[in-house]
Amino acid sequence: MIRLVTHDAPDVVALQEVPLWALRRLERWSGMTAVFAATKLPMLGRLAGPLHRLDARHIRSALTGQANAILLRHALVVDESPEIVELNPGDRREKRVCQFVRVDRDGEQLVVANLHATADDVKAAEADLARACDALIGAGPAVVCGDFNVPGRGLPGFSPPIPGIDQILVRGLELERGPERWPEERRRSDGVLLSDHPPVEAVVE
């Protein structure tokens, strides 16, 4: 999945629900700088990786743990330490976070944010998104990516959302193309459909 989504050298890739065993491999697979935030610890410990690779359909995140991750092209200089904002403080079921990375390219700065909102609870997901939006107040130009878990939900002051729960929104920037979801045939490899979410792609001018 990582090799497929990075083969055409994107500037930024935002990932959610990455199994913890895969984090140390992200940079090798992608050739990009990886910044991640763990959201769930693995119940299986060191067995999580081998068992997940044997049966990824049944060995899921509750057993492998998971994280959000942002992949950045090396040409993008990380201007400061990544910030992690917890979106659902006090909720013991699963921690939901938004990562914020300020990047600098040719003297231009912008914030890249990656989030995964609460699932199966629209009110909780809306609260998560509101906290993420509050954290971006005054941050200037920004790109927000992630699984919002609310269909067609945008953020105030950002570009319009697309149908579905996975979004790329921009503020203070112009979209040249997209956002658009990959068609099913683009995310097949050796007859296997990669991921239960189609990647969303956009070109920012």
Span 148-199, pLDDT tens digits = 999 999 999 999 999 999 999 999 999 999 999 999 999 998 888 988 899 9
In a domain, 24, yes or no: yes
Span 79-105, pLDDT tens digits = 767 899 999 998 777 889 999 999 987
Closest to 141 in 3D by CA, of 113, 117, 177, 115: 113
In a domain, 187, yes or no: no
62 with 81, same domain: the answer is: no
Across residues 43-52, what is the average pLDDT? 61
As a whole number of Å, the CA-based R_g of the chain is: 16
Residue burial 13-29, b: 16+ Cβ < 10 Å; e: rest: bbbbbbbbbbbeebeee
pTM for the model: 0.90
In a domain, 133, yes or no: yes
* Domain around 25: 1-9+19-67
Span 111-124, pLDDT tens digits = 999 999 999 999 99
- The enclosing domain of 116 has a CATH number of 3.60.10.10
88 with 174, same domain: the answer is: yes
Determine phi and psi for 43, rounding to 5 degrees. -80, -25
Determine phi and psi for 13, rounding to 5 degrees. -130, 130
57 with 88, same domain: the answer is: no
Span 124-160, pLDDT tens digits = 999 999 999 999 999 999 999 999 999 999 999 999 9
30 with 4, same domain: the answer is: yes
117 with 61, same domain: the answer is: no
63 with 90, same domain: the answer is: no
